[in-house]
Chains A and B, each alone.
Chain A
Amino acid sequence: MEAIFIIEKLVLIVVVFVLTLVIAMYSTLAERKVAGFMQDRKGPDRAGPFGILQPLADGGKFFFKEEIIPAGAHKGLFIAGPTIAIITACISSAVIPWGQSLQIGGRTVELQVADVNVGVLYIFGVIALGVYGIMLGGWASNNKFSLMGAIRAASQSISYEVAMGLSIIALLMVTQTLSLKEIVAQQEGFVNWNIWVQPLGFIIFMTCAFAECNRVPFDLPECETELVGGYHTEYSSMKLGLYMFSEYINMFVSSAVMSTLYFGGYNFPFMYDLGLSQNWITVIGVLVFFLKIFAFIFFFMWIRWTLPRFRYDQLMNLGWKILIPLAIANIVLTGVITLIKDTYW
């Protein structure tokens, strides 16, 4: 364990961290711009050219607002809620391989913060922890809307976690490894992408990702028309900001996970046929990866302005009675087909 290893990792962590925050910030602007585009209007365009400074203005405003802790609230947990939410959102990106390796001065620098043997499960664990931030915040507020929103959010997220886990099992039967690095390395080129062998699994996974991020059409925990603001009704200033931020970070990370697992991560067609050096392949790979992520983020927003919200019983029925049986059927199908292929081909 040399010091240079730690420094290298720290630099990578900080770069990823800053990138995550910037992307989360600009997702808010992008969301409003997309909304404007879909509804045939301009969206924010006053702060800077094309409203490019809008997120900075919003962020600054969050800091300069008064923070209000309601009289009946449990003070410690009220503060802990958004902190836990942002921490869990920020650590989930640790195992994602952002690119291949760079050769810098004779050292090979892996563009992945931590290559752990159980990468997929690590992400699951962190997602499972995300429930705490919402639940504690909602409970500590001592507000009926908040509590309702928190409990809805928690039971929604745990319901869809099951289907998500089952859809991943089918993928793992194909990849035979839990390490995200190896999963991406297997999907070299274009025809090896996992989406071609696991289309049903991907659809289930994506639906669950929408539900885990509390995005429309699964935004029942915070639906304005019923619950005012859901679990963050009582929150103000940067505490509210942190909740929203963690939501956008979650959206970014789940887009990254979807492109890693199913769309080949940093792989792009003909990557080894162009005669490029390793460093160039890596750089282009990183750009391609981010393009895929942005495409998914756009998809998230597109859905938001297209679909209406589910009713609560519909949400639960979809999670338990449709997605889980479908995911199990997918596992059975994958198992049988793979075995038949292995024995008779």
Chain B
Amino acid sequence: MEAATNSTPVDYLPILLQMLVAVGFGVTTIIGTHLIGPKLRTENKLSSFESGIEVIGNARQPVSIKYFMVAILFVIFDVEVIFMYPWAVNFRSLGMEGLIEMFIFMGLLLLGFIYVIKKRALEWD
């Protein structure tokens, strides 16, 4: 495992460079298309598209609470998965003890997951 040393912040410099290139490309394209394209605005053209039916009200209505449920479960599971990365990388050296420790951790969360499913919080009907 000691082979993974000598990892320093300098490793991240190329990522920064690539980010700069990507931002440059994105911004140039947006500006370019803004300059090149024709501009002929009419009121009808600028109204939102609703399959030809008159627009009623505003689109930004509150959405269903189910999406919120999915999002919050996602955050919880994401944190769980994050906890598992250091374990997975050290899996062999931690051996049986590590496996049992992780099973306890996962078991507790699975308990919660079963609760969520039993409560039908993820049903889409």
Q: Which residues of A contact B (CB under 8 A)?
A: 1, 6, 9-10, 12-14, 17, 62-73, 79, 82-83, 86-87, 90-91, 93-95, 113-117, 121-122, 139, 141-147, 151, 154-155, 158-159, 161-162, 165-166, 169-170, 172-173, 176-179, 182, 228, 233-234, 237-239, 241-242, 312-313, 316-317, 320-321, 324, 328, 331-332, 335-336, 338-339, 342
Taking a contact as CB atoms under 8 Å apart, the answer to whether A66 and B74 are in contact is no
Q: Which residue of A lies closest to B122 (CB)?
A: A320
Taking a contact as CB atoms under 8 Å apart, the answer to whether A159 and B70 are in contact is yes
Known contacts A94-B15, A158-B70; decide if A67 and B22 are in contact (CB<8 Å).
no
24 residue pairs of the A-B complex, CB under 8 angstroms, read A9-B17, A13-B21, A17-B25, A66-B37, A66-B38, A66-B39, A72-B58, A72-B59, A95-B15, A114-B15, A144-B48, A147-B63, A151-B63, A151-B67, A155-B67, A158-B71, A162-B81, A165-B77, A233-B49, A234-B49, A238-B29, A238-B33, A241-B29, A335-B99
Q: Which residue of A lies closest to B84 (CB)?
A: A169
Per the CB 8 Å criterion, the residue count for chain B at the interface is 71
Interface string of B80-114 (1 = CB under 8 A from A): 01001100111110011001001100100010010
Q: Hey, which chain B residues are within 8 Å of A151, CB to CB? A: 63, 67
Contacting B4 at CB < 8 Å: which of A6, A177, A342? Answer: A177
Taking a contact as CB atoms under 8 Å apart, the answer to whether B27 and A83 are in contact is yes
Taking a contact as CB atoms under 8 Å apart, the answer to whether A17 and B21 are in contact is yes
Taking a contact as CB atoms under 8 Å apart, the answer to whether A68 and B122 are in contact is no
Q: Which residues of B contact A (CB under 8 A)?
A: 1, 3-4, 7, 10-15, 17-19, 21-23, 25-27, 29-30, 32-34, 36-41, 43, 45-51, 58-61, 63, 67, 70-71, 73-74, 77-78, 81, 84-85, 88-92, 95-96, 99, 102-103, 106, 110, 113, 117, 122-125
Taking a contact as CB atoms under 8 Å apart, the answer to whether A63 and B30 are in contact is no
Taking a contact as CB atoms under 8 Å apart, the answer to whether B58 and A79 are in contact is no
Taking a contact as CB atoms under 8 Å apart, the answer to whether A172 and B92 are in contact is no
Q: Hey, which chain A residues are within 8 Å of B18, CB to CB? A: 13, 17, 90-91, 93-94, 113-114
Contacting A239 at CB < 8 Å: which of B30, B45, B84, B90? Answer: B30
- How long is the Cα–Cα vector from A116 to B18 in the complex, in angstroms? 14
Q: Hey, which chain A residues are within 8 Å of B38, CB to CB? A: 64, 66
Contacting A177 at CB < 8 Å: which of B29, B89, B117? Answer: B89
Taking a contact as CB atoms under 8 Å apart, the answer to whether A114 and B12 are in contact is yes
- How long is the Cα–Cα vector from A242 to B95 in the complex, in angstroms? 48
Taking a contact as CB atoms under 8 Å apart, the answer to whether A338 and B91 are in contact is yes
Taking a contact as CB atoms under 8 Å apart, the answer to whether A312 and B124 are in contact is yes
- How long is the Cα–Cα vector from A178 to B1 in the complex, in angstroms? 12
- How long is the Cα–Cα vector from A197 to B41 in the complex, in angstroms? 59
- How long is the Cα–Cα vector from A339 to B94 in the complex, in angstroms? 10
Taking a contact as CB atoms under 8 Å apart, the answer to whether A172 and B77 are in contact is no
Q: Which residue of B lies closest to A160 (CB)?
A: B74
Q: Hey, which chain A residues are within 8 Å of B59, CB to CB? A: 72, 141-144, 146-147
Taking a contact as CB atoms under 8 Å apart, the answer to whether A70 and B47 are in contact is yes
Q: Hey, which chain B residues are within 8 Å of A93, CB to CB? A: 18
Known contacts A87-B26, A332-B103; decide if A142 and B92 are in contact (CB<8 Å).
no
Q: Hey, which chain B residues are within 8 Å of A242, CB to CB? A: 26, 29-30
Known contacts A17-B25, A144-B59; decide if A162 and B78 are in contact (CB<8 Å).
yes
